[in-house]
Structure 1
């Protein structure tokens, strides 16, 4: 299981749904997680947004119980041109990806 950002969300998800997984390994590096899954050393629950495109060797299976997270963008004003451009790109990306609300 990942031990970074989404760990607390997953623990709450497990608790709310009375799920008691047998977690054998925890790892901060998603590439290590992908490698372990690729080599049939287990499964993992990770945010879909961090799965790289083109990982044909790994099967992605959505959870039966929907789980979402809210991601916010906080900006201090006045904003620099770089922050303005990043904000535009992030907003367009969220609008383009229908899975992101």
Structure 2
């Protein structure tokens, strides 16, 4: 067995070791997820979902690419490891994985 020293990247999670803290992040992963979802040029927002947004399964909007939708929601599931603030939103959009629509 050999010592490989301090690690900086593990399972898609960036690891930064400071004197008093260990910081985890997924900046590269977030950038790729935003590009795949077509949101790379969007501006950051304080809250991860519009307040009092009501989504329903009985929408008449056009269907979206279900495979892409599921892939993005799966990416959000992995992202929750370092961003627990999006856990509610990830759970909310997961409700529509069976029949995703443009505008619920």
What is the TM-score when the length of structure 2 is the normalising length?
A: 0.26
Select the structure with the greater relative contact order (CA < 8 A; seq sep ≥ 6): 2
What is the TM-score when the length of structure 1 is the normalising length?
A: 0.27
